[in-house]
Structure 1
């Protein structure tokens, strides 16, 4: 299935049972909610998906199962976060074999590669597959920035088509558009900058709190796309305290707790992560409770 790299792409959480297995039943319930809300793609195995703690066979199962659930309605994108070029090429190959329609790629893990090493890594994987690729540019969390000059070199690979823009520099959307025009699709990767990025010309939103609030997330995207900016802003202002749960070291625990509140997830995480406790848990629950109690009425947006 073609990946257009436009619209809302949930970076979905991975659901676990209390005995630390994949919880396919709850995962399916969440994916159904995402599809019903009108998302434009599904991204697996990102930070929110607890990728670093997933076994290789679990990643295989996730891709296969999600492809079955999506039924060709939206593309399924698998995140590639590997330590070696060899490992990344193998992961890309397996993702395609298991039914992925596209890839999201982080720079090499653990080793802080320089610019040439990073570009060479991305190109090697891109040249090994015909799957379309979105580069995940997040120097805040992963310590390697993919600069505009690096994107210039990466533009030689036709299947490197998009960027998940998570530099936290809102002007980077304009810099990319000014230099490359429409060569790369830009998807905001920071929930608290999403509407601002879209209004500056970003093509989509790789979202986190969408995992718990899919309809509100898609409504914001569709409304701004239709030029109904005031309506989008009103929902976004309600949403912001919840979106800030994504900009936190415990974003996985935070968002899984929000999924519990909206009935489409559990708070079970894989150790060494643990569910939130004490004052920290109470604080997050208070934010979620406030949001749920004041959840806005949404206009009809699916036909926009």
Structure 2
């Protein structure tokens, strides 16, 4: 789709934490600069992978303000603005706009929220009052609400509603969304090459935290239609991307990023660091990515 505002890779970037679990703002600039140097063209600040649900409103706002100032127009900035109350979504969105963000990502109402399509539409219509392009977030296994093709078509009629990030992990369901002809973004790590081949317009990718150079190259190969090159890159990425999707997602991304030179500390409570046994399995799945990221 010509003019789609979030093409290619958008990194759901980790939030750096200190040993006491506080946001390590003193390391934020170095953290983001590593990814900018790796060629990452877009970031999601206060992302799910960056533990959005476990950041206070003040922490999230501060992270967004500082992160956007560091990025300073050198890459796209998307902000997770999800909240239980739509008034909070609007306030977070307006703050993101004040910081120069290009868009926001917003979950449907969650935690015993409405399942009726009209109520979901009303929620996103109200969220649009924040003034930035909205990326809907389809993760039914966590939220309990699925964005179907029919609901997607209706959502697309809302001003400022631009696209849906599909993190269902169901390729058949994702291609149903793609076949609407509306721009759709993949958010399921193991589906990356298949989603782009099927016509996904962009990626919001948490696993790219531990292999940004390889992931940028993979997204660029898909953009150019170099499918053999993409498959070559994916052979190295696939074992780890599949593994992290099977459980302990955030903890695994933090641990893998540490192994490949993009560490952000440990995730904060209530998540615990990976056990030594799981770290060993993860290191084996990373294989040559550790060396590839160091020399690329």
Q: Of the candidates 240, 243, 261, which is equivalent to residue 242 of structure 1?
A: 240
Q: What corresponds to 2:61 in structure 1?
A: 60
Offset at 1:93?
2.1
Q: Which residue of 2 aligns with 1:302?
A: none
CA gap 1:177/1:248 in 2 versus in 1, 3 angstroms = closer
How far does residue 287 in structure 1 lie from its aligned partner after superposition?
2.5
Asked whether the equivalents of residues 77 and 101 of structure 2 are also in contact (C-alpha less than 8 Å), the reply is yes
* Preserved contact between residue 108 and residue 121 of structure 1 (Cα < 8 Å): yes
Q: Where does residue 122 of structure 2 map in the other structure?
A: 120
Report 1:99-114 matches (<5 A): 99-114=100-115
Answer yes or no: is 1:150 the counterpart of 2:148.
Answer: no
Structure 1 contact 170–197 (Cα < 8 Å) conserved: yes
Q: 2:261 aligns with which of 257, 260, 263?
A: 263
CA displacement at 1:168 relative to structure 2? 2.3
User: Which has the higher mean CA deviation after the structures are superposed, 35-44 or 168-177?
Assistant: 168-177
User: Take 2:46 and 2:246, find their aligned partners in 1: how far apart are those partners?
Assistant: 18
Secondary structure of residue in 2 paired with 1:210: helix
Could you tell me the TM-score, scaled by structure 2's length? 0.91
Q: Secondary structure at the match of 1:120?
A: helix
Query: How far has the Cα of 1:173 moved from its partner?
Result: 4.4
Question: What does 1:132-151 align with in structure 2 at a 5 Å threshold?
Answer: 132-151=133-152
**CA deviation vs aligned residue, 1:269-300 (integer Å, no higher than 9, x gap):** 211111112422332233335542576986xx
Aligned-residue CA RMSD (Å)? 2.2
For 2:18, the equivalent position in structure 1 comes to 17
1:231-255 deviation per Cα after TM superposition (whole angstroms, max 9, x unaligned): 1101101111111243143111111
- Mind listing any 5+ residue stretches in structure 2 that lack a counterpart? none
TM score, norm. by length of structure 1: 0.89
2:47 matched residue in structure 1? 46
CA 1:277–1:5: 2 relative to 1, 3 Å? same
Residues 1:199 and 2:197 aligned together: yes
Distance 1:246 1:283, change over 3 A: closer
Equivalent-residue separation in structure 1 for 2:191 and 2:294 (angstroms): 20
Cα distance, 1:261–1:25 mapped onto 2, change above 3 Å = farther
Query: Once superposed, which parts of structure 1, at least 4 consecutive aligned residues long, lie more than 6 Å away?
Result: 294-298
CA deviations over 1:122-148 (Å, ceiling 9, x no partner): 11111x122011111111222210112
For 1:134 and 1:89, the matched residues in 2 are separated by: 14
**Conserved? CA contact 1:253–1:267, under 8 Å:** no
What is the CA-CA distance between 1:193 and the residue it aligns to? 0.2
SS in 2 for 1:30: helix
Q: What displacement does 1:9 show?
A: 0.2
Shift in Å at residue 25 of structure 1?
Answer: 3.8
- Matches of 2:4 and 2:224, distance apart in 1: 21
